[in-house]
Amino acid sequence: MNPLIKQLLDTLGRLGNSQLVALFNVLDFENCGVFGVLAKGEFISHSRDITFKFENTPLEKIILSGRTSTYPGILLKKLLLPFPTYDKTKSTFDCLCLPLLGAEQEVVTGVIVLAQNTRTSLPSARLQMLQMLMPMVANIVEMTEENERLIQLATQDELTKLYTRPYFEMRLQEEVTRTRRHGEYFSILRIDMDHFKQINGTCGYRQGNNVLQEFAKTLAESIRQKIDIACRYSGQQFMVLLPNTGVDGAYVLAERIRQSCAQHFFRTVQGTQLKVTMSIGITQNIETVSPESDENANADNQVSSKEEILARSDSMLQIAKKTGRDKIMVSW
């Protein structure tokens, strides 16, 4: 939905004679987020990264009153974000602040902020037009937020906040297709908690869920952000997709994860300490073939399908578990 929000902010900017437009969304009774910023035609999305407390700022007055107002403005340079202030001495421009009313037309759900030259005033006809557009803008923002929420529900595991199995398998197939075209490597880790049923049996499902959440956090912190894809594949089993990574690099990561868990004490609800180990299977998308075992000695490698990759990772995991657990097995 970013193209739609970009077009929306661009239209508001042109109507308001502004090259710097921000859309703040109200998160709760004291915090707001930045849904997006349009700076000289470039759209920057901050919706999942930045939040502000609006208490004691002009935004608080706008949100409580629901009235359009103009305040002195400052530029938060790192974000290219125009922000209204009460301090005229630090201001270099004005901020026209337009509230967005929700479906009930009683609660402010967001604020549009347009940076404007302090020496020029916006014609009243333009201001009226902007105010007339606000209900439509509010509807578009609410629709976008609802779509993002639905997408999150479909792609994010509710308990661990990692990706879901369907999303992982979709991304895995995309990676298979991409690397087949370009001849690149990727690897996957299949991780399973050892003796997890005993945890549920002796400590209860609540404690089992706590362990899953704690491990998921460790896993998310171990991988490359916005590159690797980690998911909860089934009950106590996790998968990680590692683009542009062969099994050597995958093994280094797997060993780091295994050791972190082996050395970590998971705390129970009662405050006692619990040790949990992991068994891990690793494979990559290109299977090396021994020339002696192949009739065609020139066929050094075989590109695998998604199903073959998943099957090999499962085979490696089963070997790791059958040979003592707390181990890593690799399909070289």
CA dist 26 and 97 (Å) reads 14
For residue 125, count other CB atoms closer than 10 A to its CB: 8
Domain encompassing residue 265: 165-330
Pull the structure tokens for residue 311: 């099957």
Residue 194 shares a structural domain with residue 132: no
**The residue type at 304:** S
The reply to whether 125 and 7 lie within a common domain is: yes
- Residue type at 235 in one-letter notation: G
CB 176 within 8 A of CB 309: yes
Rounded to 5°, angle at Cα 79 from 78 and 83: 110
Q: Check whether residue 98 and residue 22 sit in a common domain.
A: yes
Question: Token digits for 51?
Answer: 């939040």
Q: Helix, strand or coil for residue 276?
A: coil
Domain assignment present for 84: yes
In a domain, 183, yes or no: yes
**The last residue of a domain, from among 105, 130, 153:** 153
Same domain, 60 and 178: no
**Does 200 lie in the same domain as 142?**
no
Do 205 and 325 reside in the same domain of the chain?
Answer: yes
Question: pLDDT tens per residue, the chain (332 residues)?
Answer: 577 888 889 999 999 999 999 999 898 888 988 888 999 888 887 655 678 899 999 999 999 999 999 999 999 887 888 999 999 888 889 999 999 987 666 789 999 999 999 888 889 999 999 999 998 888 888 888 777 778 777 899 999 999 999 999 999 999 999 998 888 899 999 999 999 988 888 888 888 898 999 999 999 999 999 899 999 999 999 999 999 999 999 999 999 999 999 888 887 767 678 889 999 999 999 876 554 544 444 445 677 899 999 999 999 999 999 999 999 999 97
Rounded alpha-carbon distances, angstroms, from residue 151 to 71, 144, 147, 155, 156: 37, 11, 6, 6, 8
Query: 122 in a domain, yes or no?
Result: yes
Domain count of the chain? 2
Tokens 């089934």 belong to 234
Query: For the chain, how long is the longest CA-to-CA vector?
Result: 83
142 shares its domain with 170: no
Residue 160 lies in a domain: no
> Which of 123, 153, 183 lies at the terminal end of a domain, its last residue?
153
Domain limit, last residue, from 109, 131, 153:
153
How far, in Å, CA of 321 to CA of 132, rounded? 65
DSSP structure string for 171-233: HHHHHHHHHHHHT--EEEEEEEETTHHHHHHHH-HHHHHHHHHHHHHHHHHHSPTTTSEEEEE
20 and 111 in a single domain? The answer is yes
Domain contains 159: no
For the domain that residue 245 is a member of, what is the CATH number?
3.30.70.270
**CATH value at residue 120:** 3.30.450.40
- For 328, what's the count of Cα atoms within 13 Å in the CB-facing half-sphere? 19
Q: What is the pTM of this model?
A: 0.63
- Co-location of 226 and 291 in the same domain: yes
Domain identity same for 138 and 175: no
